[in-house]
Chains A and B, each alone.
Chain A
Amino acid sequence: MKGKTGSGIRVCFCISERLGSGQALPVPARLPGMSAALLHVRYMTRFRSSAFGALSLALLSIPVLAPQSLQAQDNQQAAQPQATSEIPPPLPEMSMIEQAWARGDFVFVRQGLKRHAEETGTALAQYRYGRVLLEGRGGPRDLAAAQQWLERAVAQNEAGAAVLLARLYLSAAPGGPAQDPARAAELFKSAAARGNREAQYYLGLLYDSGTGVAADPKEAFTWFLAAAENAHTDAAFELSRAYSRGRGTVENPAEALRWLQAAAEAGHAEAQFYLAYALDSGQGAPRNRGEALNWLLRSAEAGFVQSRSALGKKYLTGDGVDANPAEAVRWLGRAAEAGDLGAMARLGAAYLGAHGVARDIPRAVALLEQASDAGLARASFDLAALFEQGAPGINADLPQAVTLYRRAVEQGSLEAEQHLGQLAGAGRLEGLLAPHRMVPWAVAAAEAGDAGAADWLQRQAEGGLRPAQTAFALRLIAGEGDPKQAAALLQAAAAAGDPEAQYQLGRIYVQGAGVEQDYVTAHKWLNIAAAGGSSAALKTRGVVADLMTPEQLAEAQLAARRFFDAARDAAPVKSE
């Protein structure tokens, strides 16, 4: 896979092939499996999220340095011939060291640089030797020594050394110096001021996240701009985001697109992905689905997982491209292998026999389970539906389906909640669960218009089920039903200890809806609900208290105390 080039480190070493995959790619904090549309939203909004800052720094903090070829730009220093002497052997010329680097003879490189650093004391030799020690080439990794040599090079104003040392100070690597973001920021500042684009980019990240410096989006923008103008690809991408959100600068969609294109053209896979999205949707760029597909293919082939997932989805559904089940399976499979939950769920659903993909139930189940276990509600829902209906090789299993629907609810699926409500309304959950658990589902289904669920809720309320009384009363209030009936239901549920009913009862006493307005009784119930943890009740209690005399307040507090005393007497085992 081809990463983007970290051209920023070319001050002394130019990049031979690529940076390792861990190299400061500003991969955004994202939930795996997010759809492309959500991802875009995330792209547009995540400047507000602290997760991004944290992740960038986590990446910053691992200075995995890729093999670098040496560049002979400084060889007027290095080419100095050495006076021959018997022992020690002659100091190798820097150009020889560079050749050794190019062919991968790091033992020679290390020994040569050690002597250069020690004997010539040039900043370049110190920097290069420090780097070799840091990377552990041609000998063990030695961060303490690396730090020393880099410090010496920095003392001689070697910008590349400043950048490397700053990253070491950010990293908290074992055996290295203690983490010191403030020092790192100073080092980046000194190198950035001298035009080092990598330092400019990192300084931008530090200002963006407020690491080692006070957070300052404007400063961050300025440095991203400087680095991007210096052809730093990651900085171009950051700059695009700054323009798209107006962070540290005036929002400017045209500039955002321009820099996104620049980063994409320089091979930034994530930029390619967002560019593809913009072109595909027409949001942020003139719509051009053909170009979008090209960028998505480039990004996918460069290994960007979201692109692979999005491309697979396009092939699966024939969205902007001829449907191609084989290609869909291939790209979704690769994204799923990389842990993309959306791809897992989509592929799993496809294996149930959709979109021209051959049915493969075991595979479908395996994929859906994996995504479900990882927290994806849609996968849990699809799996639940599979168990509810059954399939070849899978017996219909309602209890198992209910378990999975409930998991989907916990994972945030409203659809699952409504479906469970329908099942409850249809009486299919009887005996499987205690009815009070079904109340919120029935509410969700009833709100979505399911008459069976609404009837069920009413029957349960009339039968004395506390949370059903509360929920049904709220439906009455919201739907302009009989306020007196609502009040009576809330009264019953509140007295039986339902906190939501206590709060709602307090509210109707404040409003005088279905009961006579009565601040004392309102305060009593709000106080009880607040003590049970309702922050809404706490707030309303404060508002009501301001309208009451001290005597009324005293009466209300006494009533609340009596309520708790009675509850304690009724349940002597349970301490308050």
Chain B
Amino acid sequence: MKRRQVSVRALTLAAALCAAVPPGLVTLLPVPAAAQMAGDWEAAPQAQLEAAAEAGTAGAQYALALRLEEGRGLVQNYRLAVEWFARAAEQGHVAAQGRLGQYYHHGLGVAKDRDTAIHWLERAAASGQAQALFDLAAVVEQGPEGSGDPARAVDLYRRAMEQGHDEAAVSLGVLYQNGRGVAQDLARARSLYEGPAAAGNARAQNNLGLMYVRGEGVPQDYARAADLFQSAADQGLAVAIGNLATMYENGFGVPLDEVRAAELNRQAGRSGDQVAGEAAEPDLRPGSVFDTRLLPPDTGAESLQQLQSGARAGDPLAEFLLGWLLLQEGREDYARHRQAAALLRRAAEAGYPAAQANLGLMYFEGRALPQDYVLGYMWLVLAGSAGLAEARVLSAALLPQMTPEQIIEAQELAEARVNPTP
């Protein structure tokens, strides 16, 4: 009676979903929402903002902290951001309290401290705002060595959901599905997923798909499940890509296709958990960043000669263009990389943002330079603070592979380059 079984992996993957929203500080609070909370201060001139923050205006403190967090117009600095979030939070600024809680939760720029994190998240949640309730729920749901409190999370998620928070509905669905913090109720779980799934929520689609695979609370329906996994996979959800691979491996609801399955599995391994709807992974290869104000350089012999003499004379633009060109061809070529690194370094040290970004990517890749996330991140921070928006996207993408200590060290090195202390 037993046909081929869905591989164990697919079953365990469901549990992985309980942890809910993918990690990464920058993604925890969508930037537009955060900016909104910065209110009138969002567009204020830097000096004015700093003065108001120093003078104790909570809104200004929060807005300044956000700028430090993003590294927009100044050097990204989580440690300073935490300080300003804390000052605004003490004054009762709800969004700042939420942010501060997150920093303590991740141990970024401040020692990791679960109790303090929960304290600040609770203060924010006391406002009753859906996002604050959700953030608190996500932290209390899981805890080291059984200290999680899923029953409390159920309550918090429900309150957020009642305000129309889809992610909260999905997370609540997971708890119902697994019977954590609440009696298992598959019908309830299913109805919690269905709305967000129809609205395009990738986690909801994946989890609902899993119910159709298992025939939990619904008649087993592989085709339906495969469709749902596909929709979620299209949004880049790694777990869903893995589940879809399992469907192809076994020919469940789709034609059996091992090649496709292998390709999907590779893809699932590559794409860390992405938030549904987030932009596609940026190109992290050195040489991917070009200065959009420039035309691509002419590679005729004469122009190259001009660039070379320019680079010899120390013109950062020529150094950048030559280094960039070297990285375009022969991505595997050590000597070219070495030369490109030297050119980009000179232009980066002269403050040229596109050179800084590419040099940063070279440190992450570690081909002609020692792989060093700290130095790589430092150059990306510098490029971002000099106004290169692309560099901020790249640093956000690279952040998850770093430890908090590395991030803070990189930011401090960047700060020291911009404002050397005697």
Contacts and interface: CB of A to CB of B under 8 A. Distances in A.
B370 interface: yes
B372 A530 contact: no
Interface size bucket, A side? 10 to 19
10 contacts: A530-B370, A531-B367, A531-B371, A538-B366, A553-B403, A554-B374, A554-B402, A554-B406, A557-B373, A557-B406
A530 B369 CA distance: 8
Nearest to A530: B366
Contacts of A527: 366, 370-371
Interface in B366-420: 366-375, 401-403, 405-406
Interface centre among B332, B401, B403 (most CB of A within 10 A): B403
Interface in A527-542: 527-528, 530-531, 533, 535, 538, 541
B375 A561 contact: yes
A550 B373 CA distance: 11
B334 A554 contact: no
Nearest to A549: B403
Given A538-B366, A554-B402, A557-B406, 19 more contacts: A530-B366, A530-B367, A530-B371, A531-B367, A531-B368, A531-B370, A533-B334, A533-B368, A550-B401, A550-B403, A550-B406, A553-B373, A553-B401, A554-B373, A554-B403, A557-B370, A557-B373, A560-B372, A564-B370
A551 B332 CA distance: 28
A85 to B, nearest CB: 60
Nearest to A555: B403
Interface string B168-195: 0000000000000000000000000000
A54 interface: no
Contacts of B372: 557, 560-561
Nearest to A535: B334
Interface string A6-38: 000000000000000000000000000000000
Interface in B317-344: 332, 334-335, 338
Nearest to B401: A550
A530 B370 CA distance: 7
A79 interface: no
Contact of B371 (A535, A541, A551): A541
A558 interface: yes
Nearest to B337: A533
Nearest to A533: B334
Q: Is the interface of A mostly helix, strand, loop or mixed?
A: helix
Nearest to A563: B370
Given A535-B334, A561-B375, A554 B370 contact: no
Interface in A406-427: none
B366 A541 contact: yes
Interface centre among A535, A538, A560 (most CB of B within 10 A): A538
Interface in B143-161: none
Given A531-B366, A541-B366, A557 B374 contact: yes
Interface centre among B366, B368, B370, B372 (most CB of A within 10 A): B370
Given A528-B370, A530-B367, A533-B338, A550 B375 contact: no
Contacts of A535: 332, 334
Contact of A561 (B334, B335, B370, B401): B370
Contacts of B403: 550-551, 553-554
Contact of A558 (B334, B335, B366, B374): B374
A531 to B, nearest CB: 4
A533 B336 CA distance: 11
A251 B7 CA distance: 45
Contacts of A533: 334-335, 338, 368
B31 to A, nearest CB: 24
Contacts, number: 53
Interface residues of B, number: 19
Contacts of B334: 533, 535
Contacts of B402: 550, 554
Interface of A: 527-528, 530-531, 533, 535, 538, 541, 550-551, 553-554, 557-558, 560-561, 564
A10 B369 CA distance: 65
Interface in B342-381: 366-375
A519 to B, nearest CB: 14
Contacts of A560: 370-372
Contact of A531 (B335, B369, B374): B369
A554 B373 CA distance: 8
Interface string B50-77: 0000000000000000000000000000
A533 B333 CA distance: 9
A553 B368 CA distance: 18
A530 B334 CA distance: 9
A530 B401 CA distance: 20
Given A551-B403, A554-B406, A561-B375, A538 B370 contact: no
A528 B342 CA distance: 17
A538 B370 CA distance: 10
A550 B338 CA distance: 26
Nearest to A528: B370
A180 B204 CA distance: 58
Nearest to A552: B403
A553 B367 CA distance: 16
Contacts of B335: 533
Contacts of B374: 554, 557-558, 561
Given A550-B401, A550-B403, A557 B338 contact: no
B208 to A, nearest CB: 32
A42 to B, nearest CB: 29
Nearest to A560: B370
A36 to B, nearest CB: 38
In the A-B complex, list the 3 residue pairs whose CB atoms are closest, starting with the nearest.
A531-B370, A533-B334, A560-B370
Contacts of A538: 366-367
A541 B370 CA distance: 11
A560 B370 CA distance: 7
A298 to B, nearest CB: 49
A558 B372 CA distance: 7
A565 to B, nearest CB: 11
Interface centre among A527, A528, A535, A557 (most CB of B within 10 A): A557
B345 to A, nearest CB: 8
Contacts of A531: 366-371
A56 to B, nearest CB: 28
A536 B384 CA distance: 34
Nearest to A546: B269
Contacts of A551: 403
A153 B402 CA distance: 73
Contacts of B371: 527, 530-531, 541, 557, 560
Contact of B405 (A530, A541, A554): A554
Contacts of B373: 553-554, 557
A3 B250 CA distance: 65
A531 B365 CA distance: 10
Nearest to A550: B403
A557 B332 CA distance: 22
B268 to A, nearest CB: 15
B397 to A, nearest CB: 15
A538 B405 CA distance: 25
A556 to B, nearest CB: 9
Interface centre among B366, B373, B374 (most CB of A within 10 A): B366
Nearest to B400: A550
Nearest to A564: B370
Interface centre among A538, A554, A560, A564 (most CB of B within 10 A): A554
